[in-house]
Amino acid sequence: MEIIKEGDKMELADLEKLKRKGPVKKINSILSPEKLTQTVKPIEAANPSQTIEAKKVKDQITIDYPKEGEILNPRHYAIRISAGNGEVEVSIDGSDWIACRQCVGYHWFDWYYILPGKHKCMARIKLADGSYKKTKTISCLCIDYNNLKKTSK
């Protein structure tokens, strides 16, 4: 069951995702035309002495973006990686591993000045035992539409 603090505001789409994962108790809907959000009331424990243990998340890592075959802008692309807490690194076209930054629940790599052509991305996370778990390789394509040669008619 998802635990949400009182006063938390969520986009409706995010709340619907939580509902699909499992039950969410005591939700009070407050919708305003400006912001479609829902405010959550506190969840009262049936037994105040009861403790709730968080389930251990397996060491998983996936590249969310770019998607396989995605076309990229040559100036900048933020690679988004879903992974647990730990050191996450990315490798582009077989380069050395480069550290990613963690923000808003994801790991990110800001890729600037991408050369036009095909590219391959892979990410890895350092596990507690010091070993690494890697993602599958993602292929993407960079096209610089601003510098395409115009064909004459």
- To the question of pTM greater than 0.85 for the whole model, the response is no
Residues 136 and 72 in one domain: yes
User: Does 99 have pLDDT greater than 90?
Assistant: yes
Residue 120 belongs to domain with CATH number: 2.60.40.10
Q: Which of 70, 121, 73 is nearest to 93 (CA)?
A: 121
Residue type, 148: L
78 falls within a domain = yes
User: Does 32 have pLDDT greater than 50?
Assistant: no
User: Does 63 have pLDDT greater than 50?
Assistant: yes
Q: What pLDDT does 144 receive?
A: 86
Q: What pLDDT does 148 receive?
A: 72
Residues 79 and 114 in one domain: yes
Residues 100 and 134 in one domain: yes
Residues 69 and 114 in one domain: yes
Higher pLDDT, 88 or 148: 88
Angle at the Cα of 132 from the Cα atoms of 126 and 136, rounded to 5 degrees: 115
Residues 36 and 70 in one domain: no
| The total number of structural domains that make up the chain | 2
128 falls within a domain = yes
Residues 67 and 130 in one domain: yes
Taking all residues of the chain, what is their mean pLDDT, rounded to a whole number? 76
66 falls within a domain = yes
Residues 87 and 125 in one domain: yes
**Phi then psi for 62, rounded to 5 degrees?**
-145, 150
Q: Which domain, by its residues, includes 115?
A: 61-146
Give the rounded distance of the alpha carbon of 75 from its chain centre.
Answer: 21
Residues 132 and 75 in one domain: yes
Asked which of 21-30, 54-63, 136-145 is least confident by mean pLDDT, the reply is 21-30
Give the integer Cα–Cα distance in Å for 141 and 78. 14
What is the edge-to-edge ordering of all strands in the sheet holding 27-28? 9-11, 37-40, 27-28
User: Does 119 have pLDDT greater than 80?
Assistant: yes
55 falls within a domain = no
Residues 71 and 125 in one domain: yes
Residues 13 and 65 in one domain: no
Q: What pLDDT does 1 receive?
A: 53
114 falls within a domain = yes
Label residue 26 by pLDDT band (50, 70, 90).
Answer: very low
